[in-house]
Amino acid sequence: MYNLIKLNNGLRIVLENIDYVKSVSVGMWIENGSRNENRDNNGISHFIEHMMFKGTENRNAFEIADCIESIGGQINAFTGKEATCYYVKILDSHIDLALDVLSDMIFNSKMLKEDIEKEKGVIIEEINMNEDSPEDVLSDLHSSAIWGEDPVSYPILGTIDTVKSFTREEIVDYMNRYYIPENSVISICGNFDTSKIQNMVEKYFGSWKSDKNKKITTYSNPKTFNSNLFKKKNIEQLHISLGMPGVELGNDLVYPIILANNILGGGASSILFQKLREEKGFCYSIYSYMSSLNNTGVNVVYAGLNPKYAENAIYLIKEEINNFYKKGISKEKLIKAKEQLKGGYILGIESTSSRMFNNGKSVLFLNRINKPEDIINKIDAINEDSIREAMDIVYSKGILNSAFVGENLDLDKITNIIEKSSYSFKQSKKNFI
């Protein structure tokens, strides 16, 4: 059973009652992330997430974690480009504690200067760790290639310089402006007393008021660029990210696009995996995925491989995308792919936490509940016309932008392969090992 409630202060509550489980997941969603920042305060949303666990007026840092973990629960948080989520998964008999702890963190965090200075070191180490991960570096680099200087391209962690610059006053002011009930959703999924839950949430969050300088989240309409970027790193593999157009969050073409992506590069039976790994042996890892954000979206092909295969692999990826677009998807393949997509979706929401995430994100950004039966119906409704419309959007223009992390890359030659049809796959076979 689902319920969507709005308190007098503007806070939305989305409830999904599952009476046959013994757990409950509670998420506090804030519509604020790196996309709401500027170059000077980039990373502040993620920094605030960290500071929420450093101690409140009622609990120190150890007690925040211990009061949940000592009864077998879990507490954590994450920051993205457009949202921050604090969440607890706990036995259903302790739901009151989950709401108590989350409200305590939101309203009573001390933000002590000494804790802020200490956490700067922690987050700088996180940034350094991110730099040691080629996939993470690639993701940030490709964001810049896709969206240029628009805030949607900013790294979630910020930079070492911006993190070092944060002051307590700046952090508290930012939080007061964006951490407001109108920008927030509480998502609860699991076993709870439906007759008491609203009053329980009211008890902890009903008196939450907006700051006079509040910021209701708005989003730019970012332009998508035709850029190709390379970052040199002393690593064995070359990591490749190739971008194509996508659709914005909430667009119903998301479902046929996901279906097409699954066929192209969604698993071991996909076109790209079979061609580039199984047949040619160019790489160990290759896949495609889509990302939908407010007012923008992108489809990406990722591969990690030996740099000596780069030119041939990129040409072959480009060729397979073009062939896939021209041939389309047969009726038989469409039926099979829809069943695969439904199966993957259902398996992905079998836990209370995954359903809490799904409900919270949907209400936060779209102000509606995406029930499983609604999603299944949308998948069932995919037909040849919607698939063709989706493929026209994503694949008709080919690869628009790219990013590369590694060594020994001739970016001009790679750009020529991506942008032109002058590269001959046959002529380069002498380079194969």
Cite the active site residues: 49
Q: Which helix or strand (DSSP H or E) is residue 190 part of?
A: strand 184-190
Using the structure block, give the residue that is written with the tokens 């896949």.
287
Distance, CA of 95 to CA of 356 (rounded, Å): 14
Give me the residue label for tokens 């009622």. Answer: 58
CB 378, CB 390: distance < 8 Å: no
CA distance 170 to 6: 30
**Separation between Cα atoms, residue 295 and residue 219, nearest integer Å:** 7
Phi/psi at 91 (5° precision)? -60, 145
Cα 151 to Cα 169, 291, 298, 404, distances in angstroms: 23, 16, 15, 21
Assess contact for 177 and 36: CB atoms under 8 A.
no
Q: What is the distance of C-alpha 227 from the center of its chain?
A: 22
Report residue 71 as tokens. 């009864």
The three-point CA angle 99-105-108 to 5° equals: 115
Residue type, 254: V
Ranges of beta strands (E only) in 63-136 are 74-79, 84-91
Q: Which residues make Cβ contacts (< 8 Å) with residue 229, sequence separation at least 6?
A: 141, 142, 144, 145, 402, 403, 404
* Residues 414, 317 contacting (CB under 8 angstroms): no
Of 344, 355, 341, the C-alpha closest to 390 is 341
